[in-house]
Structure 1
Amino acid sequence: MGCKALKFLFWVSSILCLALFSRGFTPADNYLIDCGSPTNTTVGDRVFMADNLASKLLSAPENVLGNTSKSVTSSDDSPLYQTARIFTGVSKYTFSISRRGRHWIRLYFYPFVHASYNMSMAKFDVSTDNHVLLSSFGVQSLTVKEFSVNVTTNSLAITFSPSENSFAFINALEVVSAPDQLIQDTAGSVQSSVTFQGLTWQALETVVRVNMGGPTVSFENDTLWRTWVPDQRFLVGKNLALSVSNIGAVKYVDGGSSEDIAPSSVYGTCTRMNSINDSSSNFNVTWEFDVDPGFQYLVRFHFCDIVSEALNLLYFNVFIDSSMVVRDLDLSTYLVNILAAAYYMDYVTESATSNKIRVSIGPSNLHGTYPDAILNGLEIMKMNNSDGSLSGLGTISSSSSSSKKNVGAIVGVSVGVASGVLLAGVLFMLCRKRRRLARQRLSKTWVAFSINGGGTSHTMGSKYSKGTTVSLNSNMSYHVPFLAVQEATNNFDESWVIGIGGFGKVYKGELSDGTKVAVKRGNPQSQQGLAEFQTEIEMLSQFRHRHLVSLIGYCDEKNEMILIYEYMENGTLKSHLYGSGHPSLNWKQRVEVCIGAARGLHYLHTGYAKAVIHRDVKSANILLDENLMAKVADFGLSKTGPELDQTHVSTAVKGSFGYLDPEYFRRQQLTEKSDVYSFGVVLFEVLCARPVIDPTLPREMVNLAEWAMKWQKKGQLEHIIDPNLKGNIRPDSLRKFGETAEKCLADFGVDRPSMGDVLWNLEYALQLQEAVVQGDPDENSTNMIGELPPQINNFSQLDPNGSPQFHGSSVDDLSGVSMSKVFSQLVKSEGR
């Protein structure tokens, strides 16, 4: 069947299903106003009230001189945009609410030019009693703003406040009840195992609502009058995706989604991995969306398996930015083994640090599964900040009495609804005091900490003894008895040593339940003593991430400093690159290891209110588990990053020779970009499989970073790569990988990418390695690059804040310090 015939069938099926569509929800409150219009206006099956009939809803303060509102007329043909109401002073609509709960607020704007008003020049705020919806808002083209708020009183006021020497306007306005079940109170948390609670009280602004793999779904074909747009313009790499339609297969069942959550025309289409007839496919399908930094976002995934012919055939992973939020998703297990059942999942992000959010789906790594993934629909909604604002700028224009209602709008992640700003402040101060006292106690007596990320129990002892049972999910703090550590390591048997570092020896150990562990025993003669021991415990006891090595326990008895970690079966990344005789990794494995390490570092940099800077990123501190999954280790030198009003942390220089950031070395000013530099060295180490400092080589080759950069700038990186990789790297993958490493090694931190951008580029390098154009007989051919869309093939056209295109600097080292001179004096690459 030809493409035209397939497209025809697709559109016919869509139209037939839409024709069968019927509304099921009747709103208790349903205010529709065509602002400025002298007559009612019909749009679809909805009637917008004439403005003069709604005049009783509109009020303005008595102290505003002159007419505070006027009607003007447009020549535009769209029914809701032919008239507008102008506000020259603070004015508000007040709506009587018959049923409390969540309501839609939709604001329609079209800035046509009138004889008296050029509405594209308007600047104004829009607020409710409890929330700022828009601040310093201006409109340049037709715009619809959609909000969802929880109304807890018998009225809702929407206030328009013109900026100084300006005015406000509105073309049409909706206040409509929404179903109570539309927004549940809880959701999953990105980068955290803690469930987010308190969504019920959040004001939400719709950022985007997307119908994957299908056409626009208009408000007339949605029970809640929403509009769903096609996903094509958000796709990164359109050739990696296929559109599928099977609307008739959609089933709504108990425990799943409903027609009010999303219509069948959304669940009945999907975007799917373009992996048909290629069982070796390994890439993600990615969408990118614009967002405002500084806010958390509710991301809702809509799934419906309309592609499988039987149950338990489709397994895939789901990502938000660099975080995997669902692993090995099997949709048929969620809904009592029913195929093509509609289902949705909600996740709340951390506060956005970028102006982009990327959503991805990709194949599962489960053995025996075919590489495939689908997504049917997606919604992204901005959540109000702690001030109740969705803009971060404006203030609430309401009476002093209504400001008291703000208290209930501030929501905590793990404790539900907070009592208010005062309580939040008190809790903040108490937490700070408690953390300070805990650090003081820890530095003096090494009081045990609590592991809160596990759900299993381990018996701390060898498999030959009874041992001491310690529960990882217990609320009680614990530490590991020295006797149990001795038994687990066969009394620190030297034949069990698996590594030696600056802190001391690392032993392989085995607990009585068979769990393998790595035991790091501090050397009393080491300069890396109490401070690093304390830092390691403080850092790893609060972090839980699949790409960070987990700390199981510690022992401080008998003047010992012992740390116990999960055991990493395949040792260090360094050991697989050179000098150990371990099996060499192929190119795909190496890039995947780099991706995993980048995810761990990205989490450190962005997962908390203040960044955590590792300060000792190197191949010896990237460990591999039995599946070669990478985890970042050794947090003894880690340090929290600068405050919000600072650019850096001033601190003594620490790190490992060969990986040290030259700017940090010169200025003793630490930022996250110091980790980025070190990671760039690791990337070249992975590519070239040689020590980062090798004094036995000719002078120009001693320092790997300087040597590799010379070849990278020549565009001849292939001449120095690991011989084991020659002929096995696709040229475009090598080029992207080399460019990423080069940008990481920029002289100045400001010119280096963030770890999030590094991660995105590495994932793209892997896709370039794995991508094969259908019908291309040469698997190593790079002809497929020409098939990529322009925004992927030419990064320079993308927005610099959200794209992998970075702007480097060729500014010389201002201090005059040559890093070659420094490194040429060193003979011990592992020294700190």
Structure 2
Amino acid sequence: MAFPINLIITLLFSSLFQISFAAFTPTDNYLLNCGANTNASFFSTRSFLGDSSRQGSAFLSTDRSISLSDPNPPPDSPALYHTARIFPGGSSPPPAYKFTVTSNGTHFIRLHFAPFKAPGFDLTSAKFRVLLNGFSVMNCLATINSVVVKEFLLKIDVPLLEISISPSKPSGFAFVSAIEVFSAPNDYIIDKGTKLVTPNSAQIFSNLSSQILETVHRINVGGLKLTPFNDTLWRTWLVDDNYLLLKAAAKRAWTTNPPNYQTGGATREIAPDNVYMTAQEMDRDDQELQARFNISWGFPVGSRRVLHLVRLHFCDIVSSSLNQLYFNVFINDYLAARDVDLSTLNFHVLASPLYIDFVAESDHDGMLRVSVGPSDLSNPARANALLNGVEIMRVLNPVRSKVGSGKKSFLWIILGSVLGSLALLVLCGLCFCRRKSKKTKRSESIGWTPLRRFRGSSNSRTTEGTVSSSGYQTLRISFAEIQSGTNNFDRSLVIGVGGFGMVFKGSLKDNTKVAVKRGMPGSRQGLPEFLSEITILSKIRHRHLVSLVGYCEEQSEMILVYEYMDKGPLKSHLYGSTTNAPLSWKQRLEVCIGAARGLHYLHTGSSQGIIHRDIKSTNILLDDNYVAKVADFGLSRSGPCLDETHVSTGVKGSFGYLDPEYFRRQQLTDKSDVYSFGVVLFEVLCARPAVDPLLVREQVNLAEWAIEWQRKGMLDQIVDPNIADQIKPCSLKKFAETAEKCCADYGVDRPTIGDVLWNLEHVLQLQVSGPLDKPEEVSGDLTGSGTARSGSNTVRDNGDGTSGIISSTQVFSQLMTNNGR
């Protein structure tokens, strides 16, 4: 697989541009040329201080060492490798290099060993050990005949780093040729979202940044070898040819355009441009391969049954448009990530780089295998998968990880995942007992790297029903302000807990009351949901959508700040609350109408529209005047393009509210939101949960149970007793018909949310002015064409808490306006 000459030229120019464009400047930066009294340059980019010089000798703790020079240095070898510092045995205490640490956090430590033969010393036979601040990271290094560079990442929270290099035996000696110690970029190793891949499931691996990591492999997949000259962190990236298990399965892909870092989850410090500009993709042109296959790499790591950090780099340089590429990731043949959709995770921008971290155990042969292949969501005609880069780092001394160590902890992890899976299966069976369900596709639930793209510091507020031109760039709020406004996240201010984390009541500097949603490590929802909320809510404003006031992503935090909704979720005003009186039937109708307006704006306010994907009573919030607003856009995504009927994506949502057609086919449309909203309508009417596993089988699922009573003509028998005597029969009849149509098994049989909104307005009109004792006789279907609407009136929300009667033609003029309502 030869490299095209135009690719080589492009990448060479890219390398020159990259180094001149964005050089990384570490806070701590120590470079030592060991055994020398002069400085030496390395790859013409950095100067290493001779440790025998007056300035360099200050780093040595002892004078019981020897400076050694190579009497016959190879003419093409760097000057850095022409000398070495020798540490004879018998020294007590053992000799060490000591470096002052001015900035706590993760540091790179690279030790260079370049063996040569000199009088009295044959460096190829040296055996020794290395300790970093007392932690053993190397022991009895085997015979080396060529240059070896050992790289470690260590979190340092003390003011001193001590590197001890001593011989394994008193009669032996140790040596080192060069040392690098420098600060890593902030959040280079993060603790949130890293998954421990086990035989049965993926668990969260905590405290990753507290581990000592040793780099084993750093691979530029599909690209050229990159030297420290090509990398802002002075790393070396090797080609992947020797690690491909079936070369016929892969073909190189490349682009001449630099990556789009402005909207990506990676920076040039995570990996250089050249890594994200090349990749291996599936070779679909090879006729000998089956229609579906994986690309696999095998990486020898030397140690058996040892944990490793596996960092995979992705950048979609092969797709011609969004939402074309869906693929799965496997590590040692275990599913690590399903239905990865790079365009969704990167704000729907192609060629935007990101990476994902896993922790996995090497197999009994001391190997780690990485595979990528098409997912079940892929279009068979263009199924594909790609990978741009791989880094593998051995986890040394994993004593501080919350996942524990040893066989007992591993067994507990497996047991916990099995029990959790069984519980989930039981709940699925209860919710969809009448339907045969496929295995759900868990897409996008991957822990990704923190935001690196947002800028700005002020709050943004725009008018109702418009798209914000400033977007998310003016929404950043400092962590200090949020911490102060929540009294350091005082637990007494907690007003809710969800999958993302806790929600606190707080206030900003200008005394604006806000709700602060703080992400938690190990939460079910992570960075993709965090990014989705910011992306959507920074662009839209509507009276019936909860407004995003700002966000914070400092110190590895994921915090979202919303307008404060005094009355809380709709659910707490229906049942399950001892502090809130049940809403009246008229109030409930007004709440449903408000939520429908917000949802209608989502569906129609842009060319593609936005599908919420998690409509439920806890995601409809009420302000001080009981105005309803739709909230929680973490699972939302763009709707289908004009020439498409649906969006293929993994199933997301909440049990009981989930569209059964979406669940079966993994095909998402705006009618999926309509189904969920129909369940909410029944919940409003009956005041009981969407799913209650404690009830008898036929009552577990609210929608199914209510529709059964509706078809018997006896729905009034299960209406909430608190409102049963308030509802006019004509109002109940039309409301029930609307809810039933929303919950049709197939999306084509459901009304649009615009039709639902019109019907609910009509239901309110019937409640206000309809007959007292009998259902209204209606000629025509109010959820069908507009013919039955032409002579009707409905109720308008004037936006100030008042209402008035308007004609249906006025309703439609408002529903279809480009500005929305």
Q: TM-score range by the shorter chain?
A: 0.3 to 0.5
Q: Please, what TM-score do these two structures have when normalized by structure 1? A: 0.47
* Structure index of larger Rg: 2
Q: Please, what TM-score do these two structures have when normalized by structure 2? A: 0.47
